[in-house]
Amino acid sequence: MLSPAALPTPLVTLDVPALARVGVRLRLKRDDLAHPTVPGNKWRKLAPNLALAVEQGYTGLLTFGGAYSTHIRATAAAARELGLSSVGVIRGDELAPLPRNWSLRAAEAAGMELRFVSRGRYRELVRGTDRWSEQDGDGRLLVLPEGGSNALAVAGAAGIPAEIPELGERDVVCCPVGTGGTLAGIAGGLPAGARALGVAVLRGEGYLEREVAELHQAAYGRQFDNWRIHHGHHGGGYGRVPPELEAFAVEFERRHGIDPERRYVAKTLLAVHDLAAAGEFRPGTRVTVVVTGVPDP
Ligand SMILES: Cc1ncc(COP(=O)(O)O)c(C=O)c1O
């Protein structure tokens, strides 16, 4: 088994005068502290899939991601810990001959074999990969979709709200949205009355909602109406960190002593601050932001 995560992860309340003025309390669910090599939503989403891989005798994992994918690094680290092989299908065949960036270097150092494919081929491959297996030499690889978001991952992410006591009408649990698995799990795991808010980190209006709905269908066989996705804070697109986001993150660390991961967590925190300032939360709302990852090294 994968070494256990430190659960429940801490729940901390922040003192934010600007939010207090509009009647909003902000808490952080520190999933970034869950596990040293498979932190944040990665542990939540991978752990049930890894248990299945071991139980069903798979010899390795194959998954998909971009050049800086946290999911790729986390899958490589988890596979190594479990004695499984791992294959990463990487978007962009132009990267193959280039020196590896820090993220791909870390994946390779953990034993992952990287296969670079063109963007077109990548799009074809990632479609419809919600868990299938592939023969690879003498081994059998469990294939995980991009971002690791499948029905088991959704069940894993549902463990996040299950660790937050006394959720109810006044609560909004908030997370970044990349492939939608984390938001789908949080919404699926909320008690009646509480709501989930996802912050899109890429341009994906409509598309991301469909992904979450499909994940709900796959995981629960039904739809939920307790969530929505905010699309106003993707910062120009996936991986983009505009100067105002960087400035916000630096100030956030200065005030609260927590350095927020930029591409997902800082976008989410900035969105919550801006939405609160715009009066989007009723006075008395308690917003819990899930810290889904750690800053880049
Ligand atoms: C740190 C971090 N937070 C959030 C997400 C988005 O989660 P999901 O893909 O489940 O929407 C990712 C990527 O998967 C991530 O790396």
pLDDT, one tens digit per residue, over 187-197 is: 999 999 999 99
- Checking if the pLDDT of 147 tops 70, the result is yes
- What is the reported pLDDT for 58? 95
Give which of 208, 204, 268 is closest to 233, Cα–Cα.
268
Report the 10 Å Cβ neighbour count for 33.
16
Q: Is 177 in the pocket of ligand 1 (CB under 6 A)?
A: yes
Residues 6+ apart with CB under 8 A from 237: 202, 203
Among 30, 49, 70, 211, the mutation site with the greatest number of ligand 1 atoms within 8 A of its Cβ is 70
- What is the reported pLDDT for 136? 74
CA distance 147 to 181: 8
Give which of 51, 48, 77 is closest to 156, Cα–Cα.
48
Report the 10 Å Cβ neighbour count for 56.
10
Task: Count the alpha carbons within 13 Å of 42 in the hemisphere toward its beta carbon.
Answer: 24
- Checking if the pLDDT of 130 tops 70, the result is no
Q: Is 179 in the pocket of ligand 1 (CB under 6 A)?
A: yes
Which domains does the chain show, CATH number per domain? 11-38+151-290 (3.40.50.1100), 40-148 (3.40.50.1100)
Residue nearest to atom 14 of ligand 1 (CA): 147
CA distance 117 to 105: 17
- What is the reported pLDDT for 148? 95
Q: Is 40 in the pocket of ligand 1 (CB under 6 A)?
A: yes
Q: Is the preceding omega at residue 8 within 30 degrees of 0, hence cis?
A: yes
Report the 10 Å Cβ neighbour count for 251.
10
Question: pLDDT tier at 126 (50, 70, 90 boundaries)?
Answer: confident
Q: Is 285 in the pocket of ligand 1 (CB under 6 A)?
A: no
Q: Which of 134-138, 143-147, 207-211 has the lowest mean pLDDT?
A: 134-138
CA distance 158 to 204: 23
Residue nearest to atom 7 of ligand 1 (CA): 178
Query: For 231-278, what is each residue's pLDDT tens digit?
Result: 999 999 999 999 999 999 999 999 999 999 999 999 999 999 999 999
- Checking if the pLDDT of 138 tops 60, the result is yes
Question: pLDDT tier at 3 (50, 70, 90 boundaries)?
Answer: confident
CA distance 255 to 268: 17
- What is the reported pLDDT for 143? 93
Helices 102-109 and 70-82: crossing angle, nearest 10°?
Answer: 10
Residue found under tokens 């009647």: 23
CA distance 27 to 251: 17
Query: For 264-274, what is each residue's pLDDT tens digit?
Result: 999 999 999 99
- What is the reported pLDDT for 153? 98
- Checking if the pLDDT of 105 tops 60, the result is yes
Kindly give the pairing relationship between strand 25-29 and strand 286-290: parallel
- What is the reported pLDDT for 129? 65
Residues 6+ apart with CB under 8 A from 3: 35, 81
Which ligand 1 atom sits closest to the C-alpha of 69? 16
